[in-house]
Every structure is written in structure tokens, then in C-alpha cells.
Amino acid sequence: MSTERRVVVTGLGATTPLGGTITETWDAILAGRSGARTLTADWVEKYELPVTFAASIHTSPEEVLTKVECRRMDPSAQYAMVASREAWADAGSPEVDPERFMVAIGTGIGGVHTLLAQWDNLREKGVRRVFPLAVPMLMPNTSSGNVSLALGARAGAHTAVSACASGAESMALAVDQIRLGRADIVVAGGTEAAIHPLPFAGFTQMQALSTRNDDPQHASRPYDTGRDGFVMGEGAAVIVLESEEHARARGARIYAELAAAGMSSDAHHITAPEPEGAGASRAMREAVERAGLTPADIVHINAHATSTPVGDVAESNAIRRAFGDATDGMCVSGTKSMTGHLLGAAGALEGLFTILSVHHRIAPATINIEDMDPAIHLDVVRGEHRKLPQGDIAALNNSFGFGGHNVALTVKSI
Amino acid sequence: MAQSEQEILAGLAEIVNEETGLDPESVQSDKAFTDDLDIDSLSMMTIVVNAEEKFGVRIPDDEVKNLRTVGDAVSFIQSSQS
């Protein structure tokens, strides 16, 4: 592995339930704030939805993008655009060879707002009222396509679609593409805008969402015995990845190294995690081994930890299975307790938190744990943030998705 | 109830601005949609449908290719209204 090109992180951007930028979002994480709020949309009452809250976007893209950009992009692409522009500016808006510049932005659901709004137009007003841009707005690659267009990236525009692992898988794909020599610099991440009555109703019918309607801020509570499902979120998170030589040559600020990814699929059940965590643990081990590390080098895990009764325990088992006693040296954060679950953007946002944790040497506290579940055998950070050690450190980000997708990313200090 | 040429031009400029972000002042009768205003065929479709709704007329797809300039569109809408 030592002959592989090192891939480093040089720019960060996000728009989330906690803030319109990554800085605002990270500050809210360190302040232990929840992004969950009661939904004000009329459809909640109209369809008598059993869940009345979500972690909806903090800053509307309409405050950031032009009116025309908003008209021509699905909300999922609007979020991706906001986060990508921030990340690109954070990387210094470098002059790069367009044919060595790539985009990889994943999504779980794609342009669902557009799809269903245009279906309504067709049924209620007829074919001439269907927006001519309906198809390019609803397709899942609408975000990677629009971002490549806006930034002028011509080495390829890719879209990983693996439900809630999409954002992490896009980052994994970006690392591979740089190592294969197909690009020098990649804008990579995930986006999701699915707080729409249909996907929302689908999740409620699956009984996947928390129903703590009277107390949204305390609804996302990974590892607590009172957890009763995830809180739906939305937003986008994007990073700029470069080969180390490319970053050094232009004197870029480097946050951390995205050292490796591990990926696997469960082939067990379309939604339920494999209870022993065999697939998830393989992904985690692969991520550590491909980074040229051992489990003892990993000091922190940003866990998938969605706050579902089954999922959190399955992940805990999978971590133990992967790393054995070395697990005791890894402090674990469940940041969905604050952000909610951003679905196809979750892995990207948590990948970004993992990068910031390594960069700032701080593991954020998981909020809302009042009664720790005894079935969780992990050193969960709660109450106060945990300082991470000085010297060379590494951390892991876990992301899993419906379909049995498992992705783990290894971040190393630089 | 036919509208004046000026009213139609102003309404059309508003639609073009909404769709493309172009300054309504730049939408003048002698301007060509494609060559001067850089409006592509997809945007043109949206402008046509919005114009149909706003002015209460029908602009058949076959007719759209004949509407080279803003003035062409204004005349077509005005004659359809009367």
C-alpha cells in the first residue's frame, strides 16, 4: 500500500439542519445542539402523518443561490451546489486542469421533490405544464452533473447510489479514482432532500422514524434505552480531495489524509442489518488494513448510529467483531443525535466530522443519552467532548445503507 | 380582450426574467430569443407555456420556431387574443 498515491482533504463544505456552512454546523455540534424541529408544512396535517418533525435544512438555498438556479435544480442539487461551492472556495478555488478534475456526489433518493411535483402537474394540469427540465432535475446524477457544470470538472461526474452509504461511497470512489490516476482533484460528497410526504410516509409505514412528536430535540438518541427510531434529516456535505503531490505543489492547506475505504454488502436482508455484523465488520477491517494500519491505531469512530433499536446494537456488535479488545481504545461519537439522519448525505457529513475530529483532535459528545443501553459495548463519548491524542492518529467513519451496503472510511492525521 | 403591445412586452419580459434571470430591460422587440438573449430550447418551452397561461392564448409547438424575436412573439400573442 505504501506505493499508492496519498489522497488528502483540502476543502470542506456543508449545508445541514445545524447550519448553512460547515463552520456553523461544526460549531453547533460542539455546542451539542439538535437540528430537529416540528414541521410546519401543511402536508403533515393533511395526510395525518404519525411523525410531525424532522431535522430540516437550517438555511434555505434560496438565500444563497439565484432564483434561476433554484428554478432549474431539484432541492437535492441545490444543497449539493451550496456545499460544493463552499468546499471549492475553502480549497482556495484553485486553477486546475479541467480534464484532471472530477466530481463524485452521491444521493440515496435523488430528485424526489421534482419527480412528484411534476407528476402532480401532469395529473392536475396536463402535459404542457410538465417542466421541460423535469427529467434532468429528477435523475439521481442531477447533483454531480450540475456541480461538474458549475465548477468546470471534465474528468468525470459520478454518482454513488447506496441509500444511506451513498455519501461515504462517493468519497471512497473519489479516493480510488485519484489512485487509479484518473483525476488529481475531486469534489466528493453526498446530498439528500427527501423531506417530502411520500418518502416520509414510506419511512413511517416502515416504523423506522422516532415518534417523539412532543419532544423533537430529544428524539434522536443513539445508544439510549429510550431510542425509538431515526429522525429524518436533509442537506449536503462535500469535500475536496487531492493527490498529496497536487495539493503540495499548489501549497494547499491540508486537513487530513483520507487514507482508505472498506466496502462490503450483506446479502442478508433489504433493510435489516445482519445481526452479527459480519459484512459491516469486514468493511471496517478492510478500511484499516488498506490504510496500512492496525486496529490499535484507530482512536475514534464516528458511528452510523441512527438511533434505531436494532441498528445501534448491530453496529456495536460489528465493531467488536472487527476489532476485538482494540475496540476499548476507540471512543465513539453518534453525531446523528444532533444532525438527524441525512440519508444519502449522512456518510459524507459524518466523513467530514471525522476529518474535523482528526484535524482538531476532538471527538464530539453524543447528546440525549440519559440511560445507556447495556447491550452497547462501546466507549461512547457523552457529556463532554473527548480530546484525541497528539502525534499520529487515525479515525474511522461508518456508513450503512438499505440494500445491505457497508462503507467505512479511514482518516489519518497529516 | 386584447392587451396593448406594451403590456404584452412587459409581461413577456417578466416571464423571461423569471426563467433566465435576464434583466427585463434587455427584453426588447428587436431582440432574437436565441441569438441575442441566449435562450435555449428548453427555456423557450417554459417561456411559451408560461406565456400561454399569462395571456390566455395557445401557442402551438409548430408556431414556436417562427417566433424568432421578442417582437414576433408579441405580435403572435396579440393577434391570438383578438
Residue B21 to residue A68, Cβ atoms within 8 A: yes
Report A:232-291 residues touching B (Cβ under 8 A). Answer: none
Q: Is A331 a catalytic residue?
A: no
- By the CB < 8 Å criterion, does A128 face chain B? yes
Q: How many CB atoms lie within 10 A of CB A7?
A: 23
Mean pLDDT (whole number) for A196-224: 97
Please list every residue in chain A whose beta carbon sits closer than 8 Å to the beta carbon of residue B45: 132
pLDDT for position A3: 61
In this model, does residue A321 exceed pLDDT 80? yes
Summarize pLDDT for A354-408 with one digit per residue, the tens: 999 999 999 999 999 999 999 999 999 999 999 999 999 999 999 999 999 999 9
**Residue that the C-alpha cell 463519548 belongs to:** A381
Q: Do B52 and A131 touch (CB under 8 A)?
A: no
d(CA A323, CA A329): 10
A68 CA: distance to closest CA in chain B (Å): 6
% chain A with pLDDT above 70: 99
Q: Which residues of A touch B52 (CB under 8 A)?
A: 128
Express each pLDDT in A93-115 by its tens digit.
999 999 999 999 999 999 999 99
Tell me the Cα Rg of chain B: 11
CB contact under 8 A, A129 and B19: no
Q: What is the mean pLDDT of residues A261-279?
A: 93
Is B45's Cβ below 8 Å from some Cβ in A? yes
Q: Could you give the CA distance from residue A7 to residue A37 in angstroms, rounded to a whole number?
A: 38
**CB-based contact (8 Å) between A127 and chain B?**
no
Give the whole-angstrom CA distance, residue A382 versus residue A302: 13
pLDDT surpassing 70 at residue B24: yes
H or E element, residue A300 = strand A298-302
The reply to whether residue B49 touches residue A129, judged by beta carbons under 8 angstroms, is yes
Chain B contact present for A66, CB below 8 A: yes
Catalytic residue among A164, A287, A298, A349: A164
pLDDT of A1 over the 50 cut = no
Report the C-alpha gap between B30 and B25 in whole angstroms.
12
List, in sequence order, the alpha helices (H) in A10-127.
Answer: 22-30, 43-46, 67-72, 75-90, 112-125
Print the domain residue range for B41: 5-81
Residue B1 is predicted with a pLDDT of 62
- The pLDDT value recorded for residue B82 is 80
Chain A residue nearest residue B45, CA to CA: A132
Q: With CA atoms as reference, report the closest residue to A333 among A379, A294, A400.
A: A379
Q: What is the average per-residue pLDDT within A220-238?
A: 98
Nearest CA in chain B to A130: B46
Number of domains in chain B: 1
CB contact under 8 A, B42 and A67: no
Domain at B28, CATH number = 1.10.1200.10
State how far the Cα of A229 lies from the Cα of A376, in Å rounded to an integer.
16
In angstroms, the CA A212 to CA A401 distance is: 23
CA–CA separation, A292 and A412 (whole Å): 11
Nearest CA in chain A to B19: A68
The answer, for B1 touching chain A at a CB cutoff of 8 Å, is no
Show residues of chain B in contact with A129, CB under 8 Å.
49
**A132/B19 Cβ within 8 A:** no
A2 — pLDDT class (breaks 50, 70, 90):
very low
Give A119's Cβ-side CA count (13 Å radius): 8
Using DSSP's 3-state secondary structure scheme, residue A187 falls into strand
Residue B2 has pLDDT above 90, yes or no: no
* CB A196, CB A116: distance < 8 Å: yes
Angle at the Cα of A205 from the Cα atoms of A204 and A208, rounded to 5 degrees:
50
Q: What pLDDT, on the 0 to 100 scale, is given for residue A392? A: 98
All structural domains of chain A: 7-249 (3.40.47.10), 262-412 (3.40.47.10)
User: A61 pLDDT exceeds 80?
Assistant: yes
Judge: B45–A132 Cβ closer than 8 Å, yes or no: yes
CB-nearest partner of A68 from B20, B45, B49 = B20
- The C-alpha atoms of residue A26 and residue A47 are separated, in whole angstroms, by 35
Question: Which residue in chain B is spatially nearest to A72 when comparing CA positions?
Answer: B19
Chain B partners within 8 Å of A128 (Cβ): 49, 52
